[in-house]
């Protein structure tokens, strides 16, 4: 099973990509060293640091019943200056 689930594409992550930071949704039990190894292997780049963020699921109503969306874990990966990940930059 892969540690990286998918890249997060949003307005904020597009801005961060101009600063050399990229946002990924990761597995719930993933650690920062695991994410670092996976990104370096997959994208052939050198990672400077990894910051992990836990986001709680939101409450949602489905007709009369209420529920919650699932919790998620994000990794903000900072690359060594001068390196980029193609296809994830802001246009």
Look at residue 74 and tell me if it is in a domain.
yes
- Indicate the pTM of the whole model: 0.87
Of 44, 51, 65, which is closest to residue 16 (Cα–Cα)? 51
Count of domains observed in the chain: 1
Q: Please, which contacts does 35-40 make with residues 24 or more away whose CB atoms are closer than 8 Å?
A: 35/3, 35/4, 35/75, 35/77, 36/77, 38/2, 38/3, 38/4, 39/4, 39/77
Q: What is the pLDDT of residues 27-69, one digit of tens each?
A: 999 999 999 999 999 999 999 999 999 999 999 999 999 999 9
Q: The domain that contains 39 carries what CATH number?
A: 3.30.70.330
Look at residue 85 and tell me if it is in a domain.
no
Q: pLDDT category, 89, cuts 50, 70, 90?
A: low
Look at residue 91 and tell me if it is in a domain.
no
Residue linked to tokens 């990229």: 22
Domain that holds residue 46: 4-79
């Amino acid at each position: 099973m892969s540690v990286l689930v998918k890249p997060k594409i949003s307005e904020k992550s597009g801005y961060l990509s101009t600063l050399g930071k990229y946002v990924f949704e990761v597995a719930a039990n993933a650690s920062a060293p695991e994410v670092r190894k996976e990104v370096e292997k997959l994208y052939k780049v050198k990672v400077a640091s990894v910051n992990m963020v836990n986001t709680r699921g939101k409450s949602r109503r489905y007709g009369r019943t209420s529920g919650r969306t699932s919790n998620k874990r994000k990794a903000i990966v900072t690359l060594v200056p001068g390196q980029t990940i193609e296809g994830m930059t802001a246009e």
